[in-house]
């Protein structure tokens, strides 16, 4: 077993391992890095070397997270980062055994995400100011987010070379650099084509963004924050009071497919979920909506 002499260097190699060998996005790897920072600060304050920490030490670290008010969902993510870190330390020869093997993850109640109705999505689209220069772009963005069920990171990095509009599908580069084919609706195709003709073809893309589909006024790739702003603004204009983000359109896409009779496995493939259990949450949403409809409209509940 090799002692750790430079924890900062170990952390750099750990983050490189996550991105280059595990295929994690930079954002996910950075979150894991923050989790490791929390752990190393805790162990340093307790006078415990990282490579000497026991399962009991790590359980006390988790209890400390609870004491400062960190919620179970966030605790679970931190534990996931810590487990990945110790697996890496063992791989690097710094540990003979993994103290996280017996570390328990807190139980997390199933959280049903917010979903928009079709009428609410239509209302958002109606609120787009088509007289503005970015109007057609924003219309194409909303139609693509909802019509393909994309993650916001997948939308902002979507390339012209990934569009096969005549064949009615797009190639999406998802988590872990995994590619998937996603059908695209005729409405979304029409709006993208209008955007390409009216706006995109007249823009000068910045270096490195020549193949990016959606650009800002300066010809650069849009940020995730900009997409969030566009969605929030349209919701406010449409009078939608729900807590909405770009991901809400993805949830709505999946829920509406399920309500329309789509196969759960097909929805899993279109969303790019590695596990079917992740997709199954939409079954719970569908059942919850059905229950609410019954409670709202059954004659015995209208007294």
Considering only residues 153 and 112, tell me which one the structure prediction assigns the higher pLDDT: 153
Active site residue 132: no
Residues 137 and 194 in one domain: yes
Residues 289 and 190 in one domain: yes
Element (H, E) at 182: strand 179-183
Active site residue 273: yes
Catalytic residue, from 175, 180, 224, 289: name it: 175
- Residues 224 and 196: their CA atoms lie apart, in Å, by 21
Please give the average per-residue pLDDT across 24-51, as a whole number. 87
**212 has which bridge partners?**
159
Domain CATH number, residue 69: 1.10.150.130
Question: Is the pLDDT reported for residue 55 higher than 90?
Answer: no
Residues 82 and 130 in one domain: no
**Residue partners of 37: CB distance under 8 A and separation at least 6:** 11
Cβ(57)–Cβ(46) under 8 Å?
yes
Catalytic residue, from 151, 200, 251, 256: name it: 151
Cβ(6)–Cβ(101) under 8 Å?
no
Classify residue 124 as exposed, middle or buried by CB count within 10 Å of its CB (0-12, 13-18, 19+): buried
- Residues 242 and 189: their CA atoms lie apart, in Å, by 28
- pLDDT score, position 281: 58
- Is residue 108 in some structural domain? no
- pLDDT score, position 197: 95
Q: Which of 18-27, 130-139, 147-156 has the lowest mean pLDDT?
A: 18-27
How many domains does one find in the chain?
Answer: 2
Residues 142 and 276 in one domain: yes
214-259 residue pLDDT tens: 999 999 999 989 999 999 999 999 999 888 889 889 888 888 877 7
Residues 175 and 236 in one domain: yes
Active site residue 146: no
- Residues 148 and 169: their CA atoms lie apart, in Å, by 9
Catalytic residue, from 77, 139, 250, 256: name it: 250
Residues 201 and 55 in one domain: no
Catalytic residue, from 60, 232, 273, 289: name it: 273
Residues 153 and 277 in one domain: yes
Sheet-wide strand order for 169-173: 163-164, 169-173, 179-183
Average pLDDT along the chain: 83
Please give the average per-residue pLDDT across 99-120, as a whole number. 74
Active site residue 151: yes
Instruction: Work out the pLDDT band at 110, boundaries 50, 70, 90.
Output: low
Kindly report whether the global pTM for this prediction surpasses the value 0.85. no
- pLDDT score, position 274: 67
Cβ(187)–Cβ(147) under 8 Å?
yes
Per the structure, the complete domain to which residue 53 belongs is given by 7-91
175-207 residue pLDDT tens: 777 788 888 989 999 999 999 999 999 999 999
- pLDDT score, position 266: 74
Question: Is the pLDDT reported for residue 213 higher than 90?
Answer: yes
Active site residue 169: no
Active site residue 298: no
- Is residue 104 in some structural domain? no
Mark residue 230 as left, alpha or beta (left: phi above 0; alpha: psi -120 to 50; beta: remaining).
alpha
Question: Is the pLDDT reported for residue 280 higher than 60?
Answer: no
Domain CATH number, residue 158: 1.10.443.10
| Listed ranges 34-38, 77-81, 107-111, 132-136; the one with the highest mean pLDDT | 132-136
- pLDDT score, position 195: 96
Question: Is the pLDDT reported for residue 290 higher than 60?
Answer: no
Catalytic residue, from 247, 251, 265, 289: name it: 247
The string of DSSP codes covering 219-245 is: S-BPPHHHHHHHHHHHHHHTT--S---
Instruction: Work out the pLDDT band at 303, boundaries 50, 70, 90.
Output: very low
Catalytic residue, from 32, 146, 195, 282: name it: 282
- pLDDT score, position 276: 60
């Amino acid at each position: 077993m090799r002692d750790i002499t430079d924890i900062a260097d170990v952390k750099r190699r750990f983050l490189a391992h996550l991105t280059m060998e595990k295929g994690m996005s930079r954002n996910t790897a950075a979150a894991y890095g923050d989790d490791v920072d929390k752990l190393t600060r805790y162990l340093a304050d307790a006078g415990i070397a990282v490579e000497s920490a026991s399962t009991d030490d790590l359980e006390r670290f988790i209890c400390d997270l609870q004491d400062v008010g960190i919620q179970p969902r966030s605790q679970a993510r931190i534990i996931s980062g810590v487990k990945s870190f110790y697996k890496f330390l063992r791989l690097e020869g710094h540990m003979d055994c993994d103290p996280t093997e017996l570390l328990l993850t807190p139980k997390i109640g199933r959280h049903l995400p917010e979903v928009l109705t079709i009428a609410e999505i239509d209302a958002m689209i109606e609120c787009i100011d088509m007289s503005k220069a970015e109007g057609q772009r924003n219309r194409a963005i909303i139609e693509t987010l909802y019509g393909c069920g994309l993650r916001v990171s997948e939308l902002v990095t979507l390339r012209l070379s990934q569009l096969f509009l005549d064949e009615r599908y797009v190639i999406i580069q998802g988590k872990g650099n995994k590619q998937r084919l996603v059908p695209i609706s005729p409405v979304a195709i029409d709006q993208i084509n209008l955007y390409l003709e009216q706006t995109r073809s007249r823009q000068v893309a910045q270096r490195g963004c020549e193949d990016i589909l959606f650009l800002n006024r300066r010809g650069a790739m849009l940020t995730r924050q900009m997409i969030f702003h566009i969605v929030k603004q349209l919701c406010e204009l449409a009078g939608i009071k729900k807590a909405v983000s770009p991901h809400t359109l993805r949830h709505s896409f999946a829920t509406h497919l399920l309500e329309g009779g789509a196969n759960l496995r097909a929805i899993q493939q279109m969303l790019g979920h590695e596990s079917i259990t992740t997709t199954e949450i939409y079954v719970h949403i569908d059942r919850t909506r059905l229950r609410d409809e019954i409670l709202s409209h059954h004659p015995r509940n209208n007294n």
